[in-house]
Amino acid sequence: MKSLKTWLFVLAAAFMTHAALAEPVTVSGVRYEDTTELKGSKLVLNGAGIRYKAIFKVYTAGLYLQKKAGTTEEVLAMPGAKRLAITMVRDIDSAELGKLFSRGMEDNMDKAAFSKLIPGVLRMGQLFSDCKSLKAGESFNIDWVPGTGTLISIQGAKCFKDLEPFKEPEFYNALLRIWLGPVPADYKLKETLLGRTPT
């Protein structure tokens, strides 16, 4: 009887742990569901966190993948659809954000690899510039859809509608390195996106 009780306790604890892991995550008031769907692919939340600039909160971000990954290398090598979901927590000039993204890509790649992506980087910078500004509460997704390419879409705004995809796989991984590369935008955000506790 004692062993049965022990087994039931272990089973219940495992169930509770799984349930806890499957719960949505809320970051600075922004809710990230534990799963999402992208063009027919079910993705799981790998991690979510907040981007600080000095002491100011700029945006939250959640990384969705086909399955959990704990390193940058795993994320970049993983096949299938991927999504980085970003929600602004303060107003920002979107042209400035586009420049920061471009610089983040360059800082995390060798010059030869980056030079091949310059046309796409310039196009992305122009898209953000055309958007003028991003307001607190507005969100956008940076998606990788196999067979289609990188799609950038803003919810609740007219920017980036009917946007032609960036077709090169290297472009999406270059974008992810902004947050997951050796010189990330925010080291603590990198840790949380990878499902780790920041040190």
Q: Is residue 1 part of a domain?
A: no
* Terminal CA-CA length for the chain: 43
pLDDT of residue 54: 85
Range of the domain at 35: 25-193
Q: How many domains does the chain have?
A: 1
Residue 113: Cβ within 10 Å count: 14
Rounded Cα–Cα distance for residues 42 and 25 (Å): 17
Q: Is residue 144 part of a domain?
A: yes
Q: Is residue 101 part of a domain?
A: yes
The answer to whether the CB of 42 falls within 8 A of the CB of 81 is no
Q: Is residue 199 part of a domain?
A: no
pLDDT of residue 128: 83
Q: Is residue 102 part of a domain?
A: yes
The answer to whether the CB of 98 falls within 8 A of the CB of 127 is yes
What residue type is 183 in one-letter code? V
Q: Is residue 76 part of a domain?
A: yes
Q: Is residue 121 part of a domain?
A: yes
pLDDT at 55 over 60: yes
Rounded Cα–Cα distance for residues 154 and 160 (Å): 6
pLDDT of residue 3: 56
Residue 83: Cβ within 10 Å count: 21
Q: How confident is the model at residue 160 (pLDDT cuts 50, 70, 90)?
A: low
pLDDT at 162 over 70: no
Rounded Cα–Cα distance for residues 111 and 124 (Å): 18
Q: Is residue 5 part of a domain?
A: no
Domain CATH number, residue 29: 3.50.70.10
User: Angle at CA 169, nearest 5°, toward 33 and 105?
Assistant: 80
Average pLDDT over all residues of the chain: 86
Q: How confident is the model at residue 32 (pLDDT cuts 50, 70, 90)?
A: very high
pLDDT at 129 over 90: no
